[in-house]
Each structure stands twice: as C-alpha cells, then as structure tokens.
Homo-oligomer: A and B are copies of this chain.
Amino acid sequence: MKSEQPDGTPFVQATLKVLGGKWKLLILWHLKDKAKRYSELKRLIPEITEKMMIQQLRELESDGIVSRNTLAEMPPKVEYAFTDYGRTIIPILKPLCDWGQEHLKRMDTDEVD
C-alpha cells in the first residue's frame, strides 16, 4: 500500500533556500575547517563583491548556520564561524560535492548526446 509520497519536496526546497545562493556553499566550504575573518573570506573569494559577501553571510546567520563574532571595538575584527547547528549541514555537503565531481567527470568523458 505505497501511498505515493508526494511530500518531502517542501523540505528539499527549504534546504535549497538555505544554501541556494551563488556563494553560500563557497563561503561554507571555507568556513567548515575553522572560523575566518571577513577580510580572510574576501581574500579567499576575490570574485565576490562586498555586498554579496555580507548579504550571504547575513542570510546564513539568520538561518542559524553561521555566527558572527566581533573581537574588538576599535580595530574592527569580525569572525564568522559555523554554529553547532550549522555543522549538521556539513555531512550533506560531502555527498553533494562527491556527486558534483562525478557529474563533471561524466560531462567531460561522456559527451551526452
């Protein structure tokens, strides 16, 4: 009596919404090993603009994935890091990355029609 589960989609969409931005994954990838300062992130991802960097960080923040920690007052130092909750998404990143790698190889090897 399989009931044709048509649900599940809103959940996948929710995940997509959280890390669907153009730069979200890239930022998270750099953050997953250890916390990084704003300037470090900008140095690691030179192609991104300040606006997008801040925007994506703010969204990740409000989704509870990363935390923003101000280190000092006058010489502005801000560190971004995964929250404990945010770390629960890291296991997802792996298979995602793995599949994408195989997909790119396939695209190169086997010219699809």
Contact = CB atoms under 8 A, between A and B. Distances in A.
Interface of A: 2, 4, 6, 8-16, 18, 20, 25-26, 29-30, 33, 44, 62-64, 85, 88-89, 91-93, 95-104, 106, 112-113
Query: In the complex this chain forms, how many copies of it are found?
Result: 2
B4 A93 contact: no
A13 B19 CA distance: 10
Given A103-B18, A112-B62, A96 B6 contact: no
Given A9-B25, A26-B9, A64-B112, A15 B103 contact: yes
A104 to B, nearest CB: 5
A91 B102 CA distance: 14
